[in-house]
A and B are shown apart, each in its own frame.
Chain A
Amino acid sequence: MYKDLDPILHSQLRLAVISILVTVEKADFAYLKNETGATSGNLSVQITKLKETGYIEVNKKFKGNYPQTTCRITELGRQRFVEYVKAISGYLKPG
């Protein structure tokens, strides 16, 4: 079922993360966690997966005593997101 849909994006949380990142310059872990309502563990796993596939860039640094993980979508991620949206709109068209 829906085999031509990108399996990396065809997942609830990863799709939510990419959809947020496509609209902003960059967002940190706390923002993504709050917007998606995901648990830290789950979000961390999905962010790692998106990073490994090259869809997003992850920058980890310390700001004072606070660790800050910032995510930004890559050109590849943006391209795959557009393809994914095209693919699902194909399914949504009547007939």
Chain B
Amino acid sequence: MSEPLLQVMQDDAKKVTLPPGLSEADLKTMYEGMVAIRVYDERSLKLQRSGRIGFCVTSFGEEATQVGTVAALQDIDWIFPSYRQYGVPMYRGVQLEDMASHLYGNKFDLAKGRQMPAHYTFKDKRFVSISSVIGTQIIQAVGCAMAARIKGDNCIAATYFGDGATSSNDFHSGLNFAAVYRAPVLFFLVNNQYAISLPVKKQSGNELLYKRAEGYGVPGIRVDGNDVIAVYQATKEAAERARNGEGPTLLELFTYRAGSHSSSDDPSRYRSQDEMDSWKKKDPIERMKRYMQKLGIWSEAYETEIWESFRERINQFTTAAEEQPEPSWESLFEDVYAQMPASLERQKDQLIARESGLELSNEGEFPL
């Protein structure tokens, strides 16, 4: 396929200059944001493999799609993510202990242990609670953007979803509503080329997914999703247009899911080692590192420093989270409604009164 692809970092360029509008410090912040995600992923995978957490999602190879976008948004902008964008709230400075608590589903998990890991919720970062149901957030982001415009606020909304999600009903309603109402919303189509085992050609007769936008009357652009600066610049531009009342944009961030779909998946069943190896060379962190080397703003000492400090912090928080108790049984019944209906209250009271003395074991074995 020969296709348009917005790129800033040319690997064969001998000399590079600082991209317009970005300082050395900005580049470092973005680089560190990507490293933080990588370290977090390595840690959660290890915890899952050793049986200490039940499940995990990683975003190996997709760090630039998260960091490049969020860095170009403002903190007032709303995010409607899928399960693979926790790097976005990390970048906005969410408490790492909150993330770790969610991995364990413990008492301090903001989602109160109700969701599988990777289904974060961070209202104070305008990072909206995640559904496992593919695509549902797309149209919700549009509604949020419409609301911001109705209220005359300056914020925009952004939604992230995968190539698989472009087949969902809500992708269609999302693009359609956004175009009709010229909603200030950005569609980040993270094309990591797989929906679990299925390659893009199983989703669409036209693998250039950004072209879908045109049919709806929405501008579409295809960006190298492993080039954090290109992602940043494309987002910046699209966000400005949305904020100026010029409507939505779809940004296809072309990347590769370097890891497995989730801890339950084995990619060797459906893709080759050669393919996986070839994408290692395009790793977004490595590419940014080379770019920074050429700019002369990278050193071994810096590299060691950031990896080690992230590792230390993340390990510290996950270790602490592991020691926290699970949510109380009462909490199971909270938040179904603003006020607990009497019938639900009775279910709760019965459980607590009659059964808390008995041990319900996790394995479903008979403990009596």
Bound together: no
- What residues of chain B have their CB less than 8 Å away from a CB belonging to chain A? none
Which residues of A are at the interface with B, using a C-beta cutoff of 8 A? Answer: none
